[in-house]
Amino acid sequence: MKIRKLIVTLLSAVMMISCVTPLSSAAYNFTPYVSDGEGGTKPINIYSEAVYMVNTDTGDVIVDINADEARVPASLTKIMTAVVCLEHFKDDPDKMKTEFVHGDNTAFDELYGTGASTADIRPFEDVCYYDLLCALMLPSSCEAANIIALNLSDSIPHFCDMMNEEAEKIGMENSHFSNAHGLFANKNYSTCRDMAKLTQYAYDNFPAFAEIVAKPTYNLPVTDDHPDGTMIVNTNEMLDETSEYYYSPVKGVKTGTLDEAGRCLVTAASLNGKNYMIVTMGAPLYKEGTDEPVMYSMKDHKALYQWAFYHLVETDFINVNSEVTDVKVEFAEEGDSVNLKPADGFKRDWPDNIELKDIKQSITLAENVVAPVYEGDKLGKLTLSYNGEELASVDLIATNSVARSETDAKMRVAKSFFSSKEFKLCVGGIIFLFAAYTSVFIYKLQHKYVKRPVKDDDEYDDYDE
């Protein structure tokens, strides 16, 4: 009997597991908007060809436009160069500020005549690693990138191997690096999503990274080549209070510009306890029809942040304490069902111009649930969707335990047996055998009492005796 109970319990558990999935949230791609001035809204004009915006508190993807399309990252490449350097020093600012290196002509020769961005570091000028990182990330110094690469490895190709190993470790699935500075080269590519992964990794692991990328300006110290020092300025004008592109919630991160790449930009911003990151690639370099440079990437970021901070509302879609539905339970000692509730709550940013009544809810319940049921058992799934796209799926679990009635189980088994095909075949077989046996018995019985005829020769023999 104990073995039989165990088998029933195990079968019930397998069935429950196969019918549900854990909490999951789909990446819903919203259309950013602004007021149209007439009480309605209109879509924001996005200039960048690829956009990835994520809520860094929750991981919810807010905007995804060609986010997995491999593109030329330009100087966004330098974020990876910085990460390899920070990994080498285990994010030890004191060590980075006290270890000085320089670059020989190898670090500079390929840059001459290219118009590459620079911090005016000279060949053989001693600079500490911290200052190299500031030069790398603020004015986007290409010589700083090569100096770091050639001092942390024996060659640029070897350093690129280190960059690609780091990319694989971080999970950048569609990226490859061929140099340390991001000037155009074959097989130097990445995606908006991968760059977001890289930047988030840098924030999560290296406090010095967050410190450096948030600086609007920085003063490189006095050297023999620069007796007055050098003030370097961040190319990210969203940090510059005097710029038309300034936006105070932005805390960094990096610009990138190439003819082949357009304007690229990674930023992170915080306001009123909400945190977002945006990566864009492929914004135009100039105002249409002119040679007037316009920071369209920064226009995109500012517009997206303003929309997110003021029009996205954290909305509670599923309350973990709400009772959703009941599911029928076979062989229950009391009652015939158990109440279900969500295993987890679900909330996320939601645009204030989309009504919650437009979100559809569907429930899938496990079939043939058999007692005993224990509180917390997964017995269903609740799915939310909007406009045909899934938002989330949450397991539904039992709110209480349900004991098994052995009497009901035995009676159900007995009833099911007597109405089963097997039982009917068995009864039919017995009836057939009984009928056959009866027929044979009667046949033999009839022949036993039939009088046997006497032959003539036997009669004469009797008289002779």
- Residue pair 330/371 in contact by the 8 Å Cβ criterion: yes
Reported confidence tier of residue 40, pLDDT bands at 50, 70, 90? confident
Give the span between the Cα atoms of 131 and 140, in whole angstroms: 12
pLDDT at 373 over 60: yes
Nearest to 302 by CA among 266, 253, 250: 250
Per-residue confidence (pLDDT) for residue 351, from 0 to 100: 92
Query: 347 forms bridges with which residues in the sheet?
Result: 316
Domains and CATH numbers, the chain: 2-29+315-406 (2.60.410.10), 48-283 (3.40.710.10)
Give the span between the Cα atoms of 75 and 264, in whole angstroms: 8
pLDDT at 5 over 50: no
Contacts of 142 (CB under 8 A, 6+ apart): 111, 116, 117, 118, 181, 182, 183
- How open is the CA angle 208-255-268, to the nearest 5 degrees? 55
Tell me the residue length of the chain.
465
- Residue pair 195/267 in contact by the 8 Å Cβ criterion: no
pLDDT at 180 over 60: yes
Give the span between the Cα atoms of 128 and 95, in whole angstroms: 9
Give the span between the Cα atoms of 340 and 363, in whole angstroms: 11
* Number of neighbours of residue 321 by Cβ within 10 angstroms: 8
Query: 338 forms bridges with which residues in the sheet?
Result: 327
* Chain CA centroid to CA 313, Å: 21
Per-residue confidence (pLDDT) for residue 448, from 0 to 100: 66
Per-residue confidence (pLDDT) for residue 465, from 0 to 100: 42
| Residue range 84-103: mean pLDDT, rounded | 96
Structure tokens at 57: 């508190």
Nearest to 187 by CA among 176, 171, 173, 198: 176
Reported confidence tier of residue 439, pLDDT bands at 50, 70, 90? confident
- The amino acid that residue 345 corresponds to is G
| Residue range 420-433: mean pLDDT, rounded | 76
pLDDT digits (tens, 9 = 90+) for 131-179: 999 999 999 999 999 999 999 999 999 999 999 999 999 999 999 999 9
The overall longest dimension of the chain from CA atoms, in Å, is 164
pLDDT at 82 over 70: yes
pTM, two decimal places? 0.79
| Residue range 53-63: mean pLDDT, rounded | 94
H or E element at residue 9: helix 2-19
Question: Taking all residues of the chain, what is their mean pLDDT, rounded to a whole number?
Answer: 88
Per-residue confidence (pLDDT) for residue 39, from 0 to 100: 81
- How open is the CA angle 243-244-245, to the nearest 5 degrees? 85
Reported confidence tier of residue 441, pLDDT bands at 50, 70, 90? confident
Nearest to 157 by CA among 188, 136, 130: 188
**Long-range pairs for 111-118 at CB < 8 Å and ≥24 separation?**
111/142, 111/143, 111/146, 114/183, 116/142, 116/143, 116/181, 116/183, 117/75, 117/141, 117/142, 117/235, 118/142, 118/143
pLDDT digits (tens, 9 = 90+) for 448-462: 655 555 555 554 444
Per-residue confidence (pLDDT) for residue 34, from 0 to 100: 86
Nearest to 67 by CA among 169, 193, 223: 193
pLDDT at 10 over 60: no
